[in-house]
Amino acid sequence: MTRTRQSAELEIEVDGERYLWRLQRRPHWSSDPAERRGMAIAVRHRDGRREAVLEFPPGPQPRFSAPRLTPAQVPTDLVAKAIASALAAGWEPLSRGKPVAIVVDAAGG
């Protein structure tokens, strides 16, 4: 059986509510523009179970030998804006159901 390795969950407060988030996917670049993927973060309310996967655009390709993205490198204000955008888009974190995928822009809006 293979073991999956998930990044640790970090806590953030948005509009007085506590949320847990983790880096779901690191950016992936390719010579084929259709294969490029931006980072994605998975967010859930501290007391809820329904996740939202917030997908960002790929952005510029880093130079060779650039270090891998870690959760500590993701700005907390970007995460807070993305969570606020997901809530404005209709995500209900305290409801039950499948994870919701929400595409946000590079600024989290």
- Identify the three-state secondary structure at position 35: helix
pLDDT in tens, the chain (109 residues): 444 556 688 999 999 999 999 999 888 877 777 777 888 999 999 999 899 999 999 877 777 767 778 888 889 999 999 999 999 999 999 999 999 999 998 888 7
Position 6, amino acid: Q
pLDDT score at 6: 61
Element (H, E) at 12: strand 10-14
pLDDT tens digit sequence for 70-98: 888 889 999 999 999 999 999 999 999 99
Q: Quote the pTM value.
A: 0.84
